Amino acid sequence: MFINDVEQCQWIRQKFETPGVMQFSSEEKRTLLARLVRSMRFEDFLARKWSSEKRFGLEGCEVMIPALKTIIDKSSEMGIENVILGMPHRGRLNVLANVIRKDLEQIFCQFDPKLEAADEGSGDVKYHLGMYHERINRVTNRNITLSLVANPSHLEAVDPVVQGKTKAEQFYRGDAQGKKVMSILVHGDAAFAGQGVVYETFHLSDLPSYTTNGTVHVVVNNQIGFTTDPRMARSSPYPTDVARVVNAPIFHVNADDPEAVIYVCSVAAEWRNTFNKDVVVDLVCYRRRGHNEMDEPMFTQPLMYKQIHRQVPVLKKYADKLIAEGTVTLQEFEEEIAKYDRICEEAYGRSKDKKILHIKHWLDSPWPGFFNVDGEPKSMTCPATGIPEDVLTHIGEVASSVPVADFKIHTGLSRILRGRADMTKTRTVDWALAEYMAFGSLLKEGIHVRLSGQDVERGTFSHRHHVLHDQEVDRRTCVPMNHLWPDQAPYTVCNSSLSEYGVLGFELGYAMASPNALVLWEAQFGDFHNTAQCIIDQFISTGQAKWVRHNGIVLLLPHGMEGMGPEHSSARPERFLQMSNDDSDAYPVFTEDFEVSQLYDCNWIVVNCSTPASYFHVLRRQVLLPFRKPLIIFTPKSLLRHPEAKSSFDQMVSGTSFQRVIPEDGAATQAPERVRRLIFCTGKVYYDLVKERSSQGLEEQVAITRLEQISPFPFDLIKREAEKYPGAELVWCQEEHKNMGYYDYISPRFMTILGRARPIWYVGRDPAAAPATGNRNTHLVSLKKFLDSAFNLQAFEGKTF
């Protein structure tokens, strides 16, 4: 730790070096004892009732419960109204019971093997679940809202999610200084040092648009006080090392001294709420059991655990101390134990009446009023996503101007703004302007838009320029999107740190706070999402199934085979499609609300837009749907400036909507019975196909249909297109390698909808290990090869499928 601030250094000295500073009243000591009783007897109760069940108990660090409650009490005293917590599984049930105050019977019934699951999803184990609770803080008599964010087994993965949710809650309350909303993160010592996402999360703490104005970090420092290694005899070096890197003060305290713990935690809360800075409390303790209750730690640590087994529990030590000094009597202590044991037994009796487990009772981020009282959407319809032409024109005019006086922009940017003005006058848009119009129209409707990622303000490909920089005044900027209308919602566009795991987790948490926002994370290149795979796998893909948590996060992943090498080409669409939950073998029933119902049933939406208008509509649809699903968009690179990749206002005005499939609209439609081949494709390859078809003069013989939405699969529209051309060969063409891209996903679904009566042939690059070549010539040769195959009308003669 290094603090280059005299005031802060003096503040710490005063708190810890003033003689007699750690004094507690008899009432405070009795409260501390009661909290320790609840913490310890809760674990004892679970151990007695379910001795062979894993629960990841808190034995050895029971003082963590009064520690967290003290941080909350002090913060409430200083004006905090909302506390968001993240933690691993050790002690989680205890925190739910005694800090958040989850009903005990709902916790106990989780141990019942006969409990039936409600039809809400797959669920999760009890020590991963979250909770949201509004209550009165008994110490300050003030309202406090507590939420414990659900998390997977991946230690520390929840850290950035908590911070993002905290930032969003601060934003919506207008709490720019973090005086009303704060976060607490609990860590294990090894994970705190070993998991890189900890550092990524810390490094967001002082970044504009990401800071949460300080977090209290509590490290449960396991198995340190009794180690047999003399080099580790005092305390683990790990938390200290981390605190040095992230420049946060760290307070070490012996977890066997409850009064010292409470004092240090009170100081930590006061530090955070005074200086708006991170602080770390290192609880030096031990783990009485192994990794879990079924684990035998003496297999590997026999001498350490002989010492641990001889330790007197902290509750007995502290009770003996208070009895000796006359603060409580033995009878009062025993009555306090009996009182809590009785509470647990009564809750246990009630828990036997529970027959069905409802995951929604464990929801960590409710959205009051968004769904009906049963948690279902209020409708199964989505309004048209087009907007009035005068709104399009107005947004285009602002997007091509500098709405601040005496503001000198770069000459190169002047050319870009003139291009936007010209497009607006001719009623056309490119990708950047379509995005501008989607965002701007949502802002007009009161929807907050937040775009985050590396270099998103300018755009990786220098196409966006949502933040203008004065060329003559340092750090003077202008965001024209915030000058559209006087009463619009705010637009936030923010360059992140060089992080994917931490930042995507942060934006996921931000999107949890409210459904009335469009929150987007853009990867610098599509495949950069792979360093955030944990967030994608454990939270985004599965979050609703595990935790009944809707989330509308949007991932913008630049994708396209353009000869730029294996690391800047593929956003790995095959991975997202492989995790999509629609059934490839189930022939759907095409009801009136099929399109929206299909979206409601899926775990996420995967699209690859081929036009700016499609991009515009799918962004607006994301907010206009009566529910929230993650949206994965494979965004273009070369198409950003492709002369053919433009859309007319006619495709975006009122009454228009997102087209899941864009059918052939050229010469082939005049005599569909004479069409010999129908090519299905998605994204950028469409333009390569159209160009090649034109060069070979095959417009009447070959039709090309685009899938804008890939998952959930548009069964109804694919069936219609195939039936329109009854004599045509069906071909799927993609620019990705055969073992990548979309073919493995679309092929069985084509077979299902066609009743296996017609094959869907593959045209594209051969299977490969790397997603793209690093040689430009090799790229062009393979492109020509598969385009030749696409229009060779004899290519599949005599072949069996």
CATH number at residue 672: 3.40.50.11610
The DSSP 8-state label assigned to residue 653 in this structure reads B
Q: How many CB atoms lie within 10 A of CB 352?
A: 12
Residue 326 belongs to some domain of the structure: no
The predicted model scores a pTM of: 0.95
Domain of 458? 389-559+608-651
Residues 412, 443, single domain; the answer is yes
With contact defined as beta carbons under 8 Å apart, do 160 and 204 qualify?
A: yes
CA 787/CA 252 separation, integer angstroms:
66
Residues 728, 639, single domain; the answer is no
Domain limit, last residue, from 598, 629, 651: 651
Residue 205 belongs to some domain of the structure: yes
Domain limit, last residue, from 585, 617, 651: 651
With contact defined as beta carbons under 8 Å apart, do 369 and 431 qualify?
A: no
The DSSP 8-state label assigned to residue 387 in this structure reads B
Residues 288, 405, single domain; the answer is no
For 679, phi then psi, to 5°, come to -100, 125
**Does 643 sit behind a cis peptide bond, omega within 30 degrees of 0 on the bond before it?**
no
Residues 448, 513, single domain; the answer is yes
CA 79/CA 711 separation, integer angstroms:
46
Residues 6 or more apart in contact with residue 590 via CB below 8 angstroms: 715, 716
**CATH number, position 634:** 3.40.50.12470
Residues 212, 259, single domain; the answer is yes
Is residue 214 exposed (0-12), middle (13-18) or buried (19+ Cβ within 10 Å)? buried
Residue 225 belongs to some domain of the structure: yes
Residue 349 belongs to some domain of the structure: no
**CATH number, position 230:** 3.40.50.970
The DSSP 8-state label assigned to residue 356 in this structure reads E
Residues 645, 669, single domain; the answer is no
Residues 645, 733, single domain; the answer is no
pLDDT value of position 307: 87
Residue 587 belongs to some domain of the structure: no
Three-state SS at 556 = strand
Residues 639, 670, single domain; the answer is no
- Please compute Rg for the chain using Cα positions: 30
CA 43/CA 257 separation, integer angstroms:
19
pLDDT value of position 228: 42
Residues 637, 710, single domain; the answer is no
Residues 306, 224, single domain; the answer is yes
pLDDT value of position 277: 94
Structural domain total, the chain: 3
Residue 4 belongs to some domain of the structure: no
Residues 162, 191, single domain; the answer is yes
CA 117/CA 104 separation, integer angstroms:
18
CA 286/CA 304 separation, integer angstroms:
10
CA 382/CA 366 separation, integer angstroms:
22
- Torsion sign across C-alpha atoms 737, 742, 748, 751: negative
Residue 196 belongs to some domain of the structure: yes
- pLDDT tens digits for 204-234? 998 999 999 999 999 998 755 544 443 333 4
Residue 461 belongs to some domain of the structure: yes
In terms of C-beta distances under 8 Å and separation of at least 24 residues, what long-range contacts does 417-421 make, across chains too? Answer: 420/396, 421/396, 421/397
Residues of the chain under the 50 pLDDT cut: 226-235
Residues 629, 719, single domain; the answer is no
**Does 672 sit behind a cis peptide bond, omega within 30 degrees of 0 on the bond before it?**
no
User: What phi-psi label fits residue 250: left (phi over 0), alpha (psi between -120 and 50 degrees) or beta?
Assistant: beta
Domain limit, last residue, from 600, 625, 651: 651
